[in-house]
Each structure stands twice: as structure tokens, then as C-alpha cells.
A and B are shown apart, each in its own frame.
Chain A
Amino acid sequence: MTEPGGAISTRSRTLVLVILLIGFGAGFVKSFDRTPAGFFQPRSIGKAGDGKPHFETRFVSGGETPQTHAPSLVELTDGRFRAFWFAGSREGAKDVEIHTAVFVPGRGGWHREPSAATRASTQKSLLRYIRKLGNPVAGRAANGQIWLFYVSVSVGGWGGSSVTMTTSTDDGKTWTPARRLITTPFFNLSTLVKGTPFLYDDGTLGLPVYHEMIGKFCELLRLDKTGAIIDKQRLSSGKYSLQPVVLAQSNRKAITLMRYAGGQSPKRVIRASTDDAGQRWSHPEKSALSNPDAALSGVVLADGRILIVLNDIESGRDQLSLVTSHDGGVTWKTVIKLEDQTGLPGQPLDRARYLETTGTLARDSDATVPNPADYARAASVQMCRGAGCGFEFSYPYLIQARNGEIHLVYTWNRSFIKHVQFNQAWLDQRLSETGNDQHH
């Protein structure tokens, strides 16, 4: 094998051809075995929950760590719920772990369990140096396992993120060794998760992801039943969209809503749609919903209504709203402002007033909180800076339980995770009360 056209033996030439044919033979067999495109599997939960309207709120976390952020939620097989979030001394610190807690409906509060993942456990499994952990997102796979995806960073900031995956066969008591999903060809840098995973009708799983290193754009991964990536689809490009949420209305129709990360007013949630199970997505466009470069979450009810939780304002994260759409996400109506400190005069608040206000909010959020002042003090550590104190209600994660009830978790002042639970009777009552007000 020396010179082109030179003295090369026929045997070597034949050997190269044999390598070529064997290599591509294996390649074509694998390619023919590829999983065909699937259809969405919309969650058709016909139940509306308990007939009596109810709306409850409580805290998931109890201030065990100074900083707490980015919760997600999954329903367990026995009707309990498990939440995940990342927490530590500060965002990006080496002591940040993926915390988890379990909630038993009807029996009071949340109970903290051992962390689902730590920097050390992730490093040991991946055989890579891990600098920090972030956003956990949990979903139920077709085989009944809980699949937990979370962000891990070896080098740099969040732009250097990769997605790590671990699974559990016992509803989160124990976890398999983590493995890394390879999602980009450039050192596998800059892929993060936030949106809720969803199932296709063939048992494969859709995982919305986003990139924020050079561009800010969204993609959709499709994982087979073993968790291997079998496809990736671009939902947007450029530098203006993050954290997609895919909402399937039927087996072919879905919309995706994305956090607006561009700087041009009006700042609106980005929306794209598909009518062919995601074979093609429409060009992403600004929707009617305001967005201050903040995450959102949503579910589709059995009657086709879409529920979204987001910061429905153009700047800040001090207001969090539940909104609904009857027409596939074209127009929206506000159901309730779950949190709203936008109208509070004199912002940013001085520390004393902030402690008073936040203490009241904590007590209103959870009547079982033993000392609301402790919650206010913990929040002030995160939310008070030189200019004063502010509020943040962000990173919502919304699911519908098998009994039809809606469960929401979100970051409360970067210090706690808050849980909101309501049924459709409350939703309908609320919508009848608001009438035609507050349309987008």
C-alpha cells in the first residue's frame, strides 16, 4: 500500500476491498434496521379528578441548601409523586447535587430522599471529570422505568453542558450508572434539557433539548427503548430560542413552545407546529404570550385544551401565570396569576420589607411552614443584592396525573421548590369566574 498506481500487491488491494465491503455490509444492516418515524402518543386522560374543585400549594424543599433551582416531576406507579431539582451552596458550585423528594397525595408534605445524582457519582460512571451539575428532567419510559436526564459540565459554563442519563426500575429508589448522551459533533458541547420528555406510539421517547454556546436554538432528540439516540431534529436555528416544550394534541398534531432568548421587542414565546407527527415543523414564530427569556411548561388535556405556566411578562420573573388555549395555542386566556409581585410599589425592596413580604408569601404558600421568617431569610440570601431585593418564580414543570389532576412545581425565589396541585373542576370554575377577561 504505497503509491497510487504504484507497486501494490493485488492481495493488499483485495484486502482493502474486503474491509470496505464488510464495513459497509455491517453499516447497511444497521441502517435497514433503523426504527421508522413514529406518531405522537397524546396523553388521553379522560378523568377530570375529584369532582369538587380544589387548589393546594405547599413547599417541596425545606431550605436544606442555600440555592435551589429547576425542578421536575414524575408520577410514580403507586400514585405518589417524585420531584427532582438541583441544589447546593450556589448555582454551578461543586457541591450541587440532584435532589429528590416524594409526595404522597392526601398525606401532607414532601419527604426528602437521598440525592439521585452527585458530581462524584456522575464522574465515576462517566469516567470523565465533572465540574458541575444542572437541570434535571424526569420522564416515564415505555418500559415503565423512570428516565432521569440532567445536565453535566466538564469544561466552562453552561454553554459547555452535555446531557447525562440514568434510569431507575424501582421508581427512583436506586439508579443505574449514569451515561452520557452524545448530541453534538463539537466535543459534545452545549446541549441542555428542560422540557418534559414524551412518548411516541412505538415506545420511543422524545426529549426536547436546546443549545446555548454559539447559537441559541432548540432540537428534539428521539431515544429508542434502550435510551440510545436514534434521531435528532432541529426545531429552530439562530440565536433566539431555548428550552422547547412539545405539546401533542393528537398523534399527528403538536405545537412546540420555546423560551424567547432574543433581544428584540416584543418579547414573546416562540411557537412552531406540525401536522405530520413532527416530520416537518413550521417556521418558528412569535406567539401572543409574553416571555422575559424564561422557561415555561405545559400539558394538553383530554378535551384538547392546552395549559401553560410561564412568566407572562416581558421582563423579570416576579410573576408566574397559568394560561390556557382552546384553539391549539393560537389564542390564550389567563386562568390565574399564581405569583404576582409586579405591582408591588417601591421595588427593588429594602431588606426589611422584603423579609416581611416574603414571610407572608411563604405562609400563604404552605400553612404547615413552621417559621415563615426562616423561609424569608433563606430567600433573601439569593434575592437581595446591592440595589435591593427582588422576587423570582421560575422554571415551571407541569404534569397531569393519571387521576386527571394537574401538578406543578417551580423555583420559588431560588431558595425553595413550590408545588401547586389542582383539579379540572377548579380549572373550569376559575375559567367561568374570569369570563372573557385577560385574553391574549
Chain B
Amino acid sequence: MINITNITGLAGATLAITASLLLVPPIRRLKRIHIGLLMSVTAIIVAVPIGALPLAAYIRSCFGDLSITTNVLLVMAIFSNLSGRRPVDEKQKFVINGLIAVTALVFYPLALGIGPFDPYRLGYGSLGFLTGLFMLALCFWAVRFYLISICIALSVVTHAMAWYESTNLWDYLLDPLVSVYALVAVLTGGLRTTTHPSGQNSHELPTPPQDGVESTRCP
């Protein structure tokens, strides 16, 4: 019988592959309903075993299980593109990208053995680490940056539920893919602000046209 953590892991990989369709310009110019249909078909194709393994399993082999933060951001990107609504504003996006980028820059070198201190160890049930995260999530809730609070809270609860194979909270909070995305977003956003103070962030996925309305602009 298939293990529950294999199902959750493969679901994350399927979500990532499906969401990556939104990065393809011709697909972004389709009507929303067509994008939705295409994503649904893609999700089924990558989740169904072809030969020994489903395509999602090969992606999972390379990148491991995606963090809950990545899953939340992918779901948000899909929702934003299919509904035309933006769940969070630019300021929240910048703050969450900045938070992820700074955390990753400190966390990964230490976790990969640059020195004797291993922050990854804190993810194995450290009460101090959990308390710190709780305070951080509460602070962001207080200033109405709900996306960060939700990402942290969902990471903590899924970790408590043993959602993935990993027993370490860090693997639910952060992964290298979302870290690279956040770093690029912060750098390109900062660069754009420097050169075009009123410009829109280039990393943002565009909102597709409303149903029945032809797209008239390139992303």
C-alpha cells in the first residue's frame, strides 16, 4: 500500500509542475478556462505512473518534497492567475520574499556544514525555535501580513501531523527552490526599483485575460 508521505510528496511535485505552466508565455495568453483545463490535464498526466514511476516521482527524486511555504505560494499563484484576483499586495510579497531570502542566506551555509553550529537541528522539536516562530507569526499577524503568518502556521501544523517523510520543521518552512525564487525576486525587484522607481516587479506572474477577452499585452 502506498505510504501517505509518498502521496503528499507526489502531490507537491504535481502542483509544482502544474504551476510551472504559468511560466510559459503562450499558455499565459490563453483564456482562464483553457488554462484551468490544461492544468488539470497536466496534473493527471504527471501523477499517473508511466512505466515504473509517475513523472512527478522523477521531479521529486531531484528536488525532494516541497516546503509548505512553496505549496502555499504555488496555490496562490494559480489562484491569482485563474481568478484574476490578487490575494496579497506587492508589499507583502516583497516582505515574504525578503524574509525567505535572508533566512536562506544564513541558514543553508550553516546547515551544510560551514561551522559547528547547525540551525537545522532546531527543527527537531526545539521549544525555543518553535516559540520564536510563534512570536514571529504573531508579529506578522499584528501588522496584517497574513500570508507569512499562514505559511508559518501551516508549516507547523503539517509538521506536527507528519505530513511529509521529514521530521524536521525546517523542511516544511523552507526549501532551496523557494529560496532561489525569493532571492531572484528580491534582487530583480530591488534592481527594478532602482532603475524604474515606479515600475512593476518583473518576476510577478501576469494575470491572464478574462474569459472571452483576447490578451492584448505581453507579460
Q: How many of A's residues come within 8 Å of B, CB to CB? A: 59
Query: Which residues does chain B contribute within 8 Å of A4, judged by CB atoms?
Result: 89, 91-92, 143-145
Set B2, B86, B118, B154: member contacting A23, Cβ < 8 A = B154
Q: Of B52, B111, B133, which is within 8 A of A124 by CB?
A: B52
Partner of A127, one of B57, B125, B133, B167: B57
| A234 on the B face (CB < 8 A) | yes
Asked if A30 and B159 sit within 8 Å, CB to CB, the answer is yes
In the bound assembly, the distance between CA atoms of A181 and B124 in angstroms comes to 13
CA A78 – CA B63 in complex, angstroms? 43
For chain B residues 99-125, which have a beta carbon within 8 Å of chain A? 107-108, 111-118, 120-121, 124-125
Pick the residue among B61, B150, B153 that contacts A24 (CB under 8 A): B153
Q: Which of chain A's residues 7-26 have a Cβ closer than 8 Å to chain B?
A: 8, 12-13, 16-17, 19-20, 22-24, 26
A127 and B2 contacting across the interface, CB-CB below 8 Å = yes
Q: How far apart sit A16 and B149, CA to CA, in the bound complex (Å)?
A: 8
CB A213 to nearest CB in B, in angstroms, measures 8
Whether A1 and B125, one on each chain, are in contact in the complex, defined by CB atoms closer than 8 angstroms, is: no
Within 8 A of B (CB), among A59-98: none
Please name all residues of chain B whose beta carbon is closer than 8 Å to the beta carbon of A32 when the two chains form the complex.
127
Interface of A is mostly: mixed
Complex CA distance for A129 and B61, rounded to whole angstroms: 6
Whether the pair B153, A23 counts as a contact (CB closer than 8 A) is yes
Q: CB-defined interface of B161-195 with A at 8 Å, one 1/0 digit per residue?
A: 11011111111001110000000000000000000
**How far does the alpha carbon of A349 sit from the alpha carbon of B2 in the complex, in Å?**
53
Decide if A24 touches B6 in the complex (CB within 8 Å). no
Q: Which residues of B contact A12 (CB under 8 A)?
A: 146
A344 within 8 A of B: no
CB pair A214 B112 closer than 8 Å = yes
Residues of A within 8 A of B116 (CB): 234, 237
B56 to chain A, nearest CB (A): 9
Interface residue? B60 (CB, 8 A): yes
In this complex, what residue of B is CB-closest to A215? B113
- Interface status of B138 (Cβ within 8 A of chain A): yes
* A368 interface contact, C-beta 8 A: no
Interface residues of A in 277-334 (CB under 8 A from B): none
Name the contact of B64 in the complex, choosing from A181, A187, A219, A230 (C-beta under 8 A): A187
How many angstroms between the C-alpha atoms of A367 and B205 in the bound complex? 73
Q: Known contacts A129-B61, A187-B64, A237-B113; decide if A23 and B165 are in contact (CB<8 Å).
A: no
CB contact list, A165-222 vs B, under 8 A: 177, 179-182, 184-188, 211, 213-215, 217, 219
B60 in complex: contacting residue of A5, A120, A128, A232, CB < 8 Å: A128
Give B70-89 interface residues, CB cut-off 8 Å to A.
86-89
Q: Give the Cβ gap from B114 to chain A, nearest Cβ, in Å.
A: 7
Residues of B within 8 A of A1 (CB): 87-88, 146-147
A187-B177 Cα distance, complex, nearest whole Å: 9
Question: Which of A29, A124, A187 has the most chain B CB atoms inside 10 A of its CB?
Answer: A187
Q: Is the CB of A184 within 8 A of B160?
A: no
Query: Shortest distance in angstroms between B10's beta carbon and chain A's nearest beta carbon?
Result: 6
A154-B153 CB under 8 A given contacts A16-B146, A229-B124: no
Residues in A whose Cβ lies below 8 Å from that of B149: 16, 19-20
Given contacts A1-B87, A22-B157, A233-B121, contact A184 B112 (CB under 8 A): yes
The verdict on B53 contacting chain A, using a C-beta distance below 8 Å, is: yes
For residue B125, which residues in chain A have a CB less than 8 angstroms away from its CB?
30-31, 34, 230
From A8, A19, A26, B161 is in contact (CB under 8 Å) with A26
Q: Does A55 contact B (CB under 8 A)?
A: no
Enumerate 11 A-B pairs (CB-CB under 8 Å) in ascending A order.
A1-B147, A2-B87, A16-B141, A30-B125, A128-B61, A182-B167, A188-B64, A232-B124, A237-B114, A237-B116, A238-B113
Question: A residues touching B (Cβ–Cβ < 8 Å)?
Answer: 1-6, 8, 12-13, 16-17, 19-20, 22-24, 26-32, 34, 120, 123-124, 126-130, 154-155, 177, 179-182, 184-188, 211, 213-215, 217, 219, 228-234, 237-238
> Which 6 pairs from chain A and chain B are nearest by CB?
A23-B153, A215-B113, A182-B166, A26-B160, A23-B157, A27-B156
> Which residues of B approach A to under 8 Å, CB–CB?
2-3, 6, 9-10, 52-54, 57-58, 60-65, 86-89, 91-92, 107-108, 111-118, 120-121, 124-127, 130, 133-134, 137-138, 141, 143-147, 149-150, 152-157, 159-162, 164-171, 174-176
